[in-house]
Amino acid sequence: MIVPWRVGSRVLPCGARPLVMGVVNVTPDSFYAGSRHADPGAAAAVALRLVAEGADIIDIGGESSRPPVYGEARVVPAAVERQRVEPVVRAVRQQSSVAISVDTTKAEVAQAALDAGAEIVNDISACRADPAMAAAVARAGAAVILMHMRGTPQTMQQDTHYEDLLGEVEAFLRDRIAHSLAAGIPQECIAVDPGLGFGKSVAGNLALLAGLERLAGLGRPVVVGASRKSFIWKTLETGPEEALAGSLAAAVISVLHGAHVLRVHDVAATRHAVRFADAVQRCALAAAGGGGEGT
C-alpha cells in the first residue's frame, strides 16, 4: 500500500519501493567510527557519495545519541550543533536535489537546517525535548519523523522492561502524532520510527523488528534505523565494524514486515538487499493473487 509522505515540495511514495536514508554524522563521537565526519567539507563529500550510491534521503546530524554501551553521549550546545550541521546541509543542497533530513532535537538547529535547504526534521524525542520544535516544523511546512524513546540517550538503557512493548510503542507514537497535528503539522508530513536501540533490550529490539506490521495501523510511513546498532552485533557476538551482514539482514526483515524507509550507514549494499527483498515480496503477493509469472 502506498503511503504518501509530503516532504517539502515533493511527495515520496512510501510503499512503491523501500526508500534508503543515508546517515551522515558531523560528530567526533557517533557510535560507528565509519560515520564520524568532524569536518563539514568531508561530511558533505560523504553525503554526495551516498547520493551517488542511491540514497533517497540524506540524514545529517551534529550530536551523537549513542547509548551508554559506547560511552555516554555528549550533550552539544545548539550553537555548536548548528555550526556542524548548517554548512553541510547548505553544501549538499547546492549540489543535489536529494531530500535532506536534519537529525536534531533542538528547534534552533532544525530551523537553521530548514533555512539552508533541509525538508525533514528527524527528532528522536518526537518533539518532546524542545517545546518549540513542533511549531517550528509546522511553520516551515517541513516533514517530521517521530521516534519512540524512553528517557534520554543518557538514561534510556536504565529501564528496558515493558509489559507490552509493541503496544506501548504504538500508543506513544499515536500520542505524538496527535500532538504534532495539534501543533499544525499536516498528517501527510508525519512519519514514525519505533526507535530501535533507544531504551530497548536486545530481545526487545528483535521483537520490534518482528512486529513492525503493527505500526502500519498508524497510517504513516514507518522509518527503521537498525544499521550497525549494538543489538545486532551483540546478537552476532562481533562489533559495529563487523555488523554489516547483520544490518543487511535487519533491513531485509524490516522491509518484509512493512518498513517504508531504512536509515543506514551502508547505502549501496542496503539498496541492493532491500530491492531484492521487495521483489520477492511483490512476486509472492502477485502469486497469491493469481498474477504469478515465470521468467
CB 248 within 8 A of CB 273: yes
β-strand partners of 24: 60
For 72, residues 6+ apart whose C-beta sits below 8 A from its C-beta are 154
Distance CA 170, CA 217 (A): 9
Nearest residue to 268 via CA among 52, 23, 53, 34: 53
Distance CA 188, CA 201 (A): 32
Domains and CATH numbers, the chain: 3-288 (3.20.20.20)
Q: What is the pLDDT of residue 72?
A: 54
Does the pLDDT value for residue 234 go beyond 70? yes
| Annotated active-site residue in 66, 229, 234, 271 | 229
| 290 vs 172: which has the higher pLDDT | 172
106 has catalytic annotation: no
| Annotated active-site residue in 66, 93, 220, 263 | 263
Distance CA 264, CA 68 (A): 21
Of 25-34, 123-132, 263-272, least confident by mean pLDDT is: 25-34
What is the average pLDDT value for the chain, to the nearest integer? 91
- Find the mean pLDDT for residues 117-131: 97
Does the pLDDT value for residue 70 go beyond 50? no
| 220 vs 28: which has the higher pLDDT | 220
Distance CA 205, CA 184 (A): 32
200 has catalytic annotation: no
DSSP state, residue 214:
G
Distance CA 121, CA 114 (A): 8
Per-position b or e across 131-165, b if 16+ CB within 10 A of its CB? eebbebbbebebbbbbbbbbebbeebbeebebeeb
